[in-house]
Amino acid sequence: MKITFWKGVFVAEHLPGEEKYLKQAGFKLHEPTLCEPAVCRGCRARIGRRYWSPRVEDATRLHRYCLPAAREVMKHHLRKLAQSRAVDANIIVPSPPGLAYKPYQRAGVAYALSRKDTLFGDDMGLGKTVEALAVANTLKPRSVLVVCPATITRNWQAEAMKWLVDGDRYAYLFPETTDQIPTEFSKPTIVIANYEKVAATTTRKKRLEASSIKYHLQPSEAALLRSLLTDKEQIAKLYEKSDVVVAPTPDAELPYLAVRGSLYLAMAAILSRPHIWALVLPPGTTDVDEARRALHDTPLSKSLRRRWDLAIFDECQALKNPESQRSRAILGQGGIYSGARRALFLSGTPFENCPREIWPLAAALCPAKFGQWWPFARRYCGLHVEKRGKKNKWVADGCTHSSELQQKLRTTFMIRRLKQDVLPELPPKRRQLVVLDEQVDWTKYPEFARWHALYSRAVDQAMERLAAARTADEYRHAAMMLDTVAVRFEENSDVRHKTGLLKLPACLRFTDEILESGLDCLVIYAHHRDVLEKIHEHYGEKSCVIYGDTPMQDRFSIVEQFQSGKKQVFVGGLRAAGTGITLTRAWTVIFFETDWNPATMVQAEDRLCRIGQAKMVQVIHPVLDGSLDANMIKKILLKQEMVDKVLNRHPELKTASP
């Protein structure tokens, strides 16, 4: 096989049997008789009937087969790819006495200094915080904004005081939503805030007198209310789920008109509730959804839209939804990001489930290549139409042209290195799935029987659609429905909770056996609060625990108790204790419950597998055969495969030797 560059396109000459490599790389067979010469670059180049591609990303995947002309064209592209994987750089970065950066961290600084904005996508546990502070040591900014999850705000202050050359000369501010940041600082200042505080607020619900709201019941609502008049308990249950939306009126006696929720206002009257919580639309607004999305400044969010010498956004996968408050307040027009002279985005998981989640960030950092959603969705997210009930809906949860997307991200703003590439001395992880010995009679639990019935029925219906498909489009749609078959979220959530409680005794017996075998320390993760409480209660004084509502100032002392050997078992919530802490004393972690998001699981694992770990980390998932847990593990494996395609795998194809 030989690939050359001819009149603006890459053209391949190949032997029989090599077509599959060209197709995998993205090359297409040019058929002159089927093309439109006015729009086809292959026709304009007169390449005849050959495999070709106009994209340098496709040719890069077959770099070893490229002739000098093609290699010359892709030289700049390959150099930028190499920079995004660099493990060392000939650069001097200021550091505090007694501390030194690792070679790959110097390479990260060099990459960031060569462009205005950078996404540090390094694997979790490689010290992205230190890399960002190393950039600050080089630039010496007077004003720094750090936006991060609430659980690690104090961790950022500790790291800044440790790694900044002049960290003690900075003033550290932790503002509240009612605070205003001054336009000028009298001394170098680092402002540290979480995502919830920097985002402007939406229209909020207000407590109104029910008698001040005019409403009108529809006939169907009136009939339902009449049928429930004898059952006050059922009315009370429905009332607790109230969603009342009102608009202001000029009537002094009835100043509000119900736009939505008249039935609940009638229920409030029956239950003698004098007040009700309602969403009040701005004057002249009739679109409820638009009103919910409308942003209203807080003193803090307004004052943060100023010039910053350096802005750092940690765990920036939080900006994955372009319609969310935080994304619009940070990445939107006139947002915080637009006021930063230089910005750094940090995330070990730039997207957690599928490529569409990285689009808001990509569009902001490189609008020339990623600015338009529809081309991005068609090219990289498998955009297609699915029939949902009686309506057609655009769906973009796929992953297509993953190698091309990875190369575009790396050559524009993303640097990403994996642990095995830069820390060969760090022991690897070993994952183990343990099927618990206890045999559970599922028929004793109606909730599980109902879940299995719903799931089986959904699978059977999807198989029937697949068998009835007559066209390629029908077959593709049926196959997609089979792949994404699911049960209602409420059902999944309930069964997931009960599964965690059901398997808890067996999981505790399993961990007891491990500790009795001589293991000196252990980390246990779970999701639900009552499951965490029962684990902590079981191990008593030997254990420490972090819940979602554990105060920030207490978390560091809890982690220190475990790291120093005062506690044998660390118990943590998957979300609450899955980021921002180090648990390298332990080398065994057991997940009593599973999360649907693979990034959440990996984040928790990497509390152990990070700089300072000397042993192979063992990750254990105890599951009950036939349970929802087993189904969740299959799903997260499929999602992780998608992430690996876009972020981790080297783009060059493994083919036969040339």
Residue range 402-408: average pLDDT? 91
Nearest to 507 by CA among 492, 529, 495, 525: 525
Give the rounded distance of the alpha carbon of 456 from its chain centre.
30
Q: Would you kindly state where each structural domain of the chain is located, as residue ranges?
A: 2-78, 103-200+296-368+402-421, 205-293, 429-441+500-645, 443-489
Q: Kindly report which listed range (236-250, 308-322, 453-467) carries the lowest average pLDDT score.
A: 453-467
Residue range 33-39: average pLDDT? 81
Q: Kindly report which listed range (225-229, 261-265, 300-304) carries the lowest average pLDDT score.
A: 225-229
H helix runs in 18-99, sequence order: 19-25, 41-45, 56-60, 68-83
503 forms beta bridges with none
Which fold, 103-200+296-368+402-421?
Rossmann fold (3.40.50)
Eight-class DSSP state of 645: H
Residue 497: count other Cβ atoms within 10 Å of its Cβ. Answer: 17
Residues 591/604, Cβ–Cβ less than 8 Å: yes
| pLDDT value, residue 506 | 84
What is d(CA 4, CA 226) in angstroms, rounded to the nearest whole number?
A: 79
Residues 262/216, Cβ–Cβ less than 8 Å: yes
From the DSSP assignment, how many helices (H) and strands (E) are in the chain? 26, 24
Specify the CATH number of the domain 205-293. 3.90.1530.10
Q: Give the CA count within 13 Å in the CB-facing half-sphere of 642.
A: 24
Nearest to 532 by CA among 560, 570, 506: 570
Q: Kindly report which listed range (51-65, 86-100, 303-317, 602-616) carries the lowest average pLDDT score.
A: 602-616
Phi/psi for 41 (5° steps) reads -70, -30
| pLDDT value, residue 650 | 64
446: CB partners within 8 A, 6+ apart: none
- At residue 483 the predicted structure's pLDDT band, cuts being 50, 70 and 90, is very low
Residue 408: count other Cβ atoms within 10 Å of its Cβ. Answer: 20
Residue with tokens 């040019």: 30
Tens-place pLDDT, residues 339-385: 999 999 999 888 878 899 999 999 999 999 999 999 999 999 999 88
Top-tier CATH class for 429-441+500-645: alpha beta
| pLDDT value, residue 485 | 45
Structure tokens given for 18 = 């090599």
Task: Give the type of residue at 309.
Answer: D
Structure tokens given for 76 = 């700049």
Structure tokens given for 198 = 């920097």
Residue range 129-154: average pLDDT? 92
Q: Do the first three CATH levels of 103-200+296-368+402-421 and 429-441+500-645 match, i.e. the same topology?
A: yes
Nearest to 531 by CA among 579, 499, 558: 499
Instruction: Indicate the Cα dihedral angle 333, 339, 343, 346, nearest 10°.
Output: -60
Task: Give the type of residue at 20.
Answer: K
Type and span of the H or E element at 13: strand 9-13
| pLDDT value, residue 405 | 93
Type and span of the H or E element at 143: strand 143-148
Residue range 467-471: average pLDDT? 64
Type and span of the H or E element at 434: strand 429-435
537 forms beta bridges with none
C-alpha distance from residue 541 to each of 160, 486, 525, 536, 538 (Å):
34, 41, 18, 8, 9
Tens-place pLDDT, residues 433-452: 777 755 555 555 666 666 66
Neighbour-count burial of 359, counting CB atoms closer than 10 A to its CB (0-12 exposed, 13-18 middle, 19+ buried): buried
Structure tokens given for 164 = 């900044």
**Pairing label, strands 143-148, 189-194:** parallel
Per-residue pLDDT for 482 more than 50? Answer: no
The residue with greater pLDDT, 230 or 583, is 583
Kindly state the percentage of the chain with pLDDT values over 90.
Answer: 37
What is d(CA 489, CA 480) in angstroms, rounded to the nearest whole number?
A: 19
The residue with greater pLDDT, 509 or 491, is 509
Residues 156/129, Cβ–Cβ less than 8 Å: yes
User: What b-and-e string marks burial along 219-252, b requiring 16 or more CB atoms within 10 Å of the CB?
Assistant: eeeeeebeeeeeeeeebeeebeebebbbbeeeee
Give the rounded distance of the alpha carbon of 23 from its chain centre.
31
What is d(CA 69, CA 29) in angstroms, rounded to the nearest whole number?
A: 21
